[in-house]
Amino acid sequence: MKLLEKVTLGKQTLQNALAMAPMTRSRADIEGVISDITTLYYTQRASAGLLITEGINISEQALGSPYTPGIYTNDQIEAWKKVTKSVHENGGVIYAQLWHTGRVGHSVDRNGKLPVAPSAVAIKGQQHFTAEGMKDYEVPHELTTEEIMQIVKDYGTAAKNAIEAGFDGVELHAAFGYLPNQFLSESANLRTDEYGGSVENRNRFVLEVMKELVDAAGSDKVGIKLSPTIYYNNIENSDPEAQFKPLIESLNELPLAYVHLMNAMFPLDNHPHYPTDIMGTFGSVSKHLVIANAGYDKASGEAELEKGIAKMISYGSLFLANPDLAKRFELDAEFNQADQATMYGGGAHGYTDYPFLND
Ligand SMILES: Cc1cc2nc3c(=O)[nH]c(=O)nc-3n(C[C@H](O)[C@H](O)[C@H](O)COP(=O)(O)O)c2cc1C
């Protein structure tokens, strides 16, 4: 079974082709510092070939939701050192997902400061979960060129901090409608300067950040997560292929570890022009290792690897609920089901108490 075969990622050999997909669990403290239960949570899942952490805020400005962790203060970095040490002692490999939420946040969780975005366009038709309950999205602050340059630097600093904290590499969260995805989208990016108005200009921010991350973390230690056809968070593109294929071609020029691609996840009835074969359409353009994500089980993951484009499959909710997922695949065992109620926030329950096969 390809899923359980070793894979070379960058300069590292992974024990299998399973990645744990990044998952926000909102169990840090209000200062964005994780505690020992987070060390236990990741350590329990160290038999994945690759662990990708939950989104980690790169700066105070990046924060969209309370109790999500950061990697920009000393206390935050020190806490992550315990995670990486324990995962490594248990034979795992772990990348930090670097997160800037852009307009997907609310001022009530940001010391009264408005979220920031490429353009002053609010998300409509959805609400945001805040410390004060569900709220409509606000019109975000439109970033100046100087502010954009500062964010690129903040990503570099976060990547340096991640390496100092012992991570094997970093992943740019450029999917699901967060800041980098906002720059890539015609609905969220209405800029007329060098960061908007054309395919090349909309791709510029992500490419600048990726170069900064490679400079900070090193060759073969940087990945990127993309969702070319996910329209959640009001992300629209008239032609996703025209936007994302040149982006992936430009990423081919950088010494990256991988490109992590998400399938659509939501119905495309209202988007008949969107491609449905994500790995075939976009993955085939990448010369880097492709990790396929979204909606896979064991059989469909194995079938995706057999097609030859993706070399790894990342699993989200299956890994959330099954710390020993690789073992369960190997033995064709039953799976624990993920509990929606304990996904975000709370303590150990629904976090570190999912049973192992032998429990
Ligand atoms: C509780 C939860 C939190 C998530 N948080 C993140 C996140 O922080 N960053 C990210 O890129 N994706 C996040 N995702 C999406 C997953 O990484 C993955 O793309 C999605 O669950 C689809 O994979 P699956 O079908 O194997 O679950 C989250 C998913 C879940 C279930």
288-311 pLDDT, tens digit per residue, is: 999 999 999 999 999 999 999 999
DSSP 115: P
The response to whether residue 304 sits with its C-beta less than 6 Å from ligand 1 reads no
Check whether 26 has a pLDDT greater than 90: yes
Check whether 177 has a pLDDT greater than 90: yes
**Confidence label for 358 from pLDDT (cuts 50, 70 and 90):** confident
Give the pLDDT confidence score for residue 359 in this predicted structure. Answer: 78
- What's the rounded mean pLDDT across residues 172-183? 98
The response to whether residue 173 sits with its C-beta less than 6 Å from ligand 1 reads yes
SS3 for 246?
helix
Percentage of residues in the chain with pLDDT exceeding 90? Answer: 99
Residues 6+ apart with CB under 8 A from 2: 17, 302, 305, 306
Distances (CA, A) of 163 to 31, 36, 92: 21, 20, 16
Q: What is the mean pLDDT of the chain?
A: 98
**Whole-angstrom distance, CA of residue 41 vs CA of residue 44:** 5
pLDDT tens, residue by residue, 182-233: 999 999 999 999 999 999 999 999 999 999 999 999 999 999 999 999 999 9
42, two tokens: 């990741």
304, two tokens: 């995706």
- What's the rounded mean pLDDT across residues 321-335? 98
Given 95, 155, 178, 195, which residue is catalytic? 178
Distance of CA 318 to the CA centre of its chain: 16
Give the pLDDT confidence score for residue 273 in this predicted structure. Answer: 94
**Pick from 206, 221, 212: nearest CA to 171:** 221
Measured by CA distance, the residue closest to atom 29 of ligand 1 is: 23
Q: Is-catalytic flag, 296?
A: no
pLDDT tens, residue by residue, 95-114: 999 999 999 999 999 999 99
**Confidence label for 166 from pLDDT (cuts 50, 70 and 90):** very high
The response to whether residue 109 sits with its C-beta less than 6 Å from ligand 1 reads no
Output the CA 317–ligand 1 centroid distance in Å: 7
The response to whether residue 3 sits with its C-beta less than 6 Å from ligand 1 reads no
Helix, strand and coil in the chain, % to nearest 5? 35, 20, 50
- What's the rounded mean pLDDT across residues 117-142? 97
Give the pLDDT confidence score for residue 342 in this predicted structure. Answer: 98
User: 173 has which bridge partners?
Assistant: 225
